[in-house]
Chain A
């Protein structure tokens, strides 16, 4: 598997982009040339220079530093979100699909109800349910997205469950838990990786949309979506302020998408 991934250029590029984003997340204080939140009206809209590699914004804040810290904020919300979605959807879908019968039928009905509400709508309605804004975003996206992922996981489990080797396992006396944990989940794992890798890019975009609507974090936070709202007023005079945060979202999301899609080709060679 690892060998196949490393031999596919698209997967390697995706991995490198993911790595670059993670480096920006971890080493933001070392990489950023300035304090991202330091306001200095005297130097607003400064040209790019040694001190300010991409210039400054309308409040004289260093754009490059804000973009680097933006990665930290996006990922610190996106990673726990996708982790929670993964745990909930895999757990529920695997158990329900594996037991089958009435349990699975109930699961289908309930997930149909949940899927009747578009995810972004749910997420918007739920924002602000907790004191902590970051926690609200995580929980609201998890509630909005779990069912869509669970539905996909369910089809994987159903497909895997009907394979002959599972019947053999049962005949040889494997316990149900052991079949799920040692056989089904490891076998659908590559598919899950595809699902959550591409899902993560969706979550990154969703977080930026939140901030863009002013429903996300505190105003003035160095977040990509929030920077875009701010730049909205300046589209005529300083279009570059719109360009940069968008390119950052693109870079972060495309890394996970490239890797996820490459992995999909490896898992399902006949579709490629």
Chain B
């Protein structure tokens, strides 16, 4: 198992390096020149010399490779430079805006798991029955709408019609309930089917027949099957955590949460490339880290995969 984790860690480093290069490359593709954008903000109508001066100051006149290496060297130490927009260090703003977003992602992860596991078990155990069909149909509906629209609908019902929740802000945990549900409902709908089909696959496999033949109680079998069926769900849950952080911009907009999604959208709007790079990199690192964690959990959960290493 340790050998497996080490080889995965090497792959992870390669992936992370690739990610930094991709991030840097993607932002450099934009036709809007960051130097010009900043010069316009500083001098309103900049002359050609002033633009060159700003570009030099930001190091944008250097070759791509050199810019990338100097950026990477600083980024590893957590120094992302100062925002072109506000002039303040990006890392401060980033840590402040990550807090609500990560909270949002954690609570939605919790809701997603709370919805997917019982409903997945229910539809697998009542295969083809009324509950299964209802969950299936409801799932298709929820997968076919944007999560921010579900957010609006929840807000209309639970904040406007029945004033149980406030419609904006992220002051206490209660404010996170509706936005997290809006994210969790479509994610869970997709997870339920995966969990259902891996549960069914588990029940149809040989080890269950053998266990039944040996007279092992159905309850113990259920435990064995859910252990067998859990890994794909863990992978999906890990992935959805990252997707939530990356796609939080819409939900943050609907519920006025000052998170990393809205920070990124603002930065994109003003072509504040250093901030964009920092946000994208941090989100990607979180995404990769959580996926890796999910993989480690799966290796622990699944004895079969451990056995391969011996």
Contact = CB atoms under 8 A, between A and B. Distances in A.
Interface of A: 109-110, 112-114, 116-122, 124-131, 201, 205, 208-209, 212-215, 225, 228, 232, 235-236, 239, 242, 246, 249-250, 253-254, 257-258, 261, 270-271
Interface of B: 11, 14-16, 18-19, 22-23, 26-27, 29-32, 140-141, 143-146, 148-149, 152-153, 155-156, 160, 167, 197, 200-201, 204, 242-243, 245-247, 249-250, 253-254, 264-265, 268-269, 276, 280, 283-284, 287-288, 291
A253 B156 contact: no
Given A121-B284, A125-B27, A213-B249, A205 B140 contact: no
A121 to B, nearest CB: 4
**Ranked 6 nearest A-B pairs via Cβ:** A113-B18, A118-B246, A253-B144, A254-B144, A121-B246, A246-B149
A125 B26 contact: yes
A257 to B, nearest CB: 5
Does more than half of chain A's interface fall in helix, strand or loop, or is it mixed?
helix
B265 A116 contact: no
Given A124-B265, A129-B31, A242-B156, A113 B144 contact: no
Given A127-B268, A130-B31, 8 more contacts: A114-B22, A118-B246, A121-B247, A125-B276, A126-B29, A253-B143, A253-B145, A258-B140
Contact of A201 (B143, B249, B254): B143
Nearest to B150: A246
A110 B167 CA distance: 43
A235 B140 CA distance: 26
Contact of B250 (A118, A209, A257, A258): A209
A213 B265 contact: yes
B143 to A, nearest CB: 6
B269 to A, nearest CB: 8
B108 to A, nearest CB: 14
B187 to A, nearest CB: 13
A117 B286 CA distance: 10
Nearest to B193: A261
Nearest to A225: B146
18 contacts: A113-B14, A116-B19, A116-B288, A117-B287, A118-B243, A118-B246, A126-B26, A129-B30, A209-B148, A215-B268, A232-B152, A242-B156, A246-B152, A253-B143, A253-B145, A257-B143, A261-B140, A271-B197
Contact of B30 (A117, A128, A254): A128
